[in-house]
Structure 1
Amino acid sequence: MANGVWHTGYGIEINLSLPDLGHPHRPDLLREITASVSERDPQLLECLAHHDKRECLSESGGKSPWMFIRRGRVGGRRPLVASHLPITHKATPEESAQHKATKERVVATAGRYGLDAEAEVPVANRRSVSDAVVTGPAGLRVGWEIQYHHLSPSSVHRRSVSAMENGITPLWVAKDRTASLIDRAPWARVDDMPWRDIAGGKEMVIRGGYRHLEVWRCVPSSERHCLVSEGAGHCGAIHADWFVPALCLPERKPVLIEDLVLRSATGESVPVYVPSRGSGRAGRHMWVSAADRARWEEIVDEKTPLPTTPVEEDDDVITFAEQEIDRSCRAGEDSWSVSDARPLRDLAQPTGGFTLPRLPPQRPSTSTRITPVERAAASAALGCPPWELGLCAGCDQMMRRYGPNAAMYCNVCRATLNGR
């Protein structure tokens, strides 16, 4: 693993193991050297051995002496690593065929639904290209990015922001649960299928990236666990959280790639971003129904737009070991720097959700006021229109007080009264 490079533009030696890279008076240096090779001079960074006219192993190994910077993963650390060009990963013939088949399937699906679709669409003055752009009847444009090999988080964010600035909603497709693009932008994960199955129309289920909102009241009769109490307790509050179809109660039908092509273009399915509540992750990106997103925004009483600036996660933080520069050429030894397995990012568990606090018991009726947020959450949890809500005559908790099958007392109070 090389921990130093030569900057041909400034004529300086860079130590990647130092927080200031050895040049405290150049605060933008890290951003400059970690930019995508497509956005800078490919010969900006040079192997130190090659620069010093010593043996550069890349010359006999089919690589160039020019370098790029990435984040390694060693024993829980994330050091900066200098590696020889070409790019970190060159797609295998199978991956290229999978990519092509998926892109063509998206375009063909859009055509069958009567939607406009185009492959290889230039974005932002041709600086990047979307694999496919599907346009809905109302002019909504969705840019499908088929990414079956590793791509850095910064590249995912940059291309997503570029798409949004040009009126395109990005939709990234992965096949690996460890893909860095997961939760960096709106995404969907499919199975790792042979390209012939993709091209032949075999069912492609969205395994991750699409969720449904579930709202429930945390009482003993609830099938779901409490989000705030430890063990099997029940807090009496109203919880709301997002679940993959298989974990919904009752279980929902799986979403197919054809479903997402249609729903994303018509606006029936929309992206939503849910900030993390202290898990070390920046937040969760998901595709959800438009109705679920509207209900969520009403319950949490806020609208969270898709991020347009990078949000670092704990796992993104660079580790600086502050070592001396090793000036030997390390071509061919780069693989150890990423030998640690990338962590799973597509996790099926709930997001952490939102809890509406329980109303204080036995409040005088003259001071009782149900807020819009409380009313929205209770309406969703109890499955009744907001105008049928009222307070239990016994405990002052919200319940279905008016309309068909209404009552004066909640189930808990009725059980208490009947037991007397």
Structure 2
Amino acid sequence: MANGVWHTQYDIEINLTRPDLGADGYPGLLEEIMTSVSERNPQLLECLAHRAGKPCASETGGKSPWMFIRRARVGGRYPLVAAHLPITHKPTPAESDQHKATKERIVQAAVQFGLSADAEVGLPSRRGVTDAMVTGPAGVRIGWEIQYSPLSPSSVHRRSVIAMEHDITPLWVAKDDRAALIDRAPWARVDDMSWKKIADGSEMIIRGGYRHLQVWRCLSSSALHCPDTEGAGHCGAIHAEWFLPALCDPPKPSVRIEDLILTSATGDSVPVFVPSRGGGRVGRHMWVPRADCGTWRELTGQWDPLPKAQEPEAGDEITFSEQEVDWTCRAGEEGWFKSDVRPVRDLGQPTGGFTLARMPAQRQRRSTWITAVERTAAAAALGCPPWEVGPCLQCSQLMRRYGRNAAMACNACRTEACP
């Protein structure tokens, strides 16, 4: 890895350890050099040693003197580093066989469902190309982006924003639970499979990125743990969180990639952005059933499926160490610069964190005054229609008060009256 490169278009040295990159008067320079190689001139950035006529270890080894820039992770710092492109005869990143097989499978599955689908679709603004475009019967367009190789968070965000500007919902596919694209945009994670298995139609389960809403009353009889007491007790409140299908109560069927291809295009599965408990624009992206999305919106009042902007996360903030540029080619040297292992981003833990506090036993207002949020949460937790929800005559807690097999008092009050 190198801490500097030569910009062949501007004919300047770039120092990656300085905030101004060691070059004044070039607005947008950082964004320009961070652009994916497939979207720029692959010979834009040159190894400094090669530029100075000195030995370039990469070129000597039959590879490339041209370079690309990425963020590294070292001891809690996030510096910019330069690395050589892998090959000389074709500097742009070659699509892997896995990538091609997944793209073809998405298009073929969509066509079999009667949907419109094409591969390598260019955007009208010519600012990018979508791996696979699937269009639903109502005109919903899903832009599938298969990303099995590392990609910077800023690139994911930039390309997602461009897609949304053209009324295309981005759907990123990863195979690594450490991929930087996870929770940066709507995503789905599949198993790391060979291209032959993908092409032969082997089952591709969505391991991460798709969730179901679980709403439950936090009682001792509940199979789900209390998120507020960290599983140490039961608070009696109504909780709502998003769970992976296998962790639901009862467990939900696994979602295959073909399921998501169809339901995302028809609108039966929709993207949802759930802010973290601290609020702001940092949170979780996920695909969810449309009905669950409606319930979540009624409970929380969150109506925007995607954030309009993102706050910087760890790894988005670049660290500048203010060093001198090293003109020696470091390609192939072991241990000169080693990045920390990327952290796991797809943890699979329940997320959401909405809690409807337990209503007071003696309310001063009329017991028939039930808010829309209270009614929706209680109906979801009790598994009944909202119009069957009503207050217990004894303690005023919400229960299934109306309809067939309903009661006048809740189970707790009936047990206390007739032990």
User: Does the 8 Å CA contact 2:186/2:285 hold for their aligned counterparts?
Assistant: yes
TM-score, structure 1 length as denominator?
0.89
Change in 2 beyond 3 A, CA 1:329/1:287: same
Is 2:215–2:241's contact at 8 Å kept on the other side of the alignment?
yes
**Residue 121 of structure 2: aligned partner:** 121
Once residues 365 and 17 of structure 2 are traced to their aligned partners in structure 1, the CA distance between those partners, rounded to angstroms, is 65
Matched, 1:286 2:281: no
Give me the whole-angstrom Cα distance separating, in 1, the residues matched to 2:19 and 2:169.
36
Q: Please show how residues 173-322 of structure 1 align to structure 2 within 5 Å.
A: 173-278=173-278, 282-322=282-322
TM superposition shift of 1:27: 6.8
TM-score, normalised on structure 2? 0.89
Deviation at 1:42, TM superposition (A): 4.3
SS at match of 1:353: strand
Cα drift, residue 215 of structure 1: 0.3
Rounded Cα–Cα distance in structure 2 between residues aligned with 1:271 and 1:338: 36
The Cα of 1:294 is off from its aligned counterpart by 0.8
Equivalent residues of 2:13, 2:23 under 8 A apart: no
Structure 2 unmatched runs, 5+: none
| Between 207-216 and 159-168, the greater mean CA deviation after superposition | 159-168
Alpha-carbon displacement from aligned partner over 1:212-267 (angstroms, at most 9, x marks no partner): 11100111211111111144211111111111111111111111111111111111
Amino acid at match of 2:17: S
CA contact (8 A) 1:242 1:351 kept: yes
Once the two structures are overlaid, the 10-residue window that deviates more, 292-301 or 39-48, is: 39-48
- Worse-superposed segment, 273-282 or 396-405: 273-282
Whether the 8 Å CA contact 2:154–2:316 is kept in 1: the answer is: no
Q: Give the superposition deviation at 1:179.
A: 1.7
The offset of 1:367, in angstroms, is: 7.8
Q: Is 2:69 aligned against 1:77? A: no
Q: Is the 1:227–1:352 contact (alpha carbons within 8 Å) kept by the matching residues of 2?
A: no
8 Å CA contact retained: 1:187, 1:287: yes
Q: Is the 8 A contact 1:301 1:373 kept in 2?
A: no
Q: Does 1:416 align with 2:413?
A: no
Name whichever of 279-288 and 268-277 sits farther off. Answer: 279-288
SS of equivalent to 2:96: helix
1:110 and 2:127 aligned: no
Q: CA deviation at 1:302?
A: 2.0
Give the SS at the match of 2:111. helix
Give the deviation of 1:155 after TM superposition.
2.0
1:323 CA drift (Å): 3.1
**Structure 1 residues 151 and 102, CA, compared in 2 at 3 Å: closer, same or farther?**
same
**Over the residues paired in the alignment, what is the CA RMSD in angstroms?**
2.8
Q: Deviations over 1:256-304 (max 9, x none)?
A: 1111111111111111111122499922111111111111111112213
Give CA-to-partner distance per residue, 1:87-136, whole Å, 9 cap, x none: 99955xxx722222222222221222211211221124343222221111
Query: Number of residue pairs matched?
Result: 416
Instruction: Give distance in 2, aligned partners of 1:38 and 1:196.
Output: 26
Distance 1:29 1:110, change over 3 A: closer
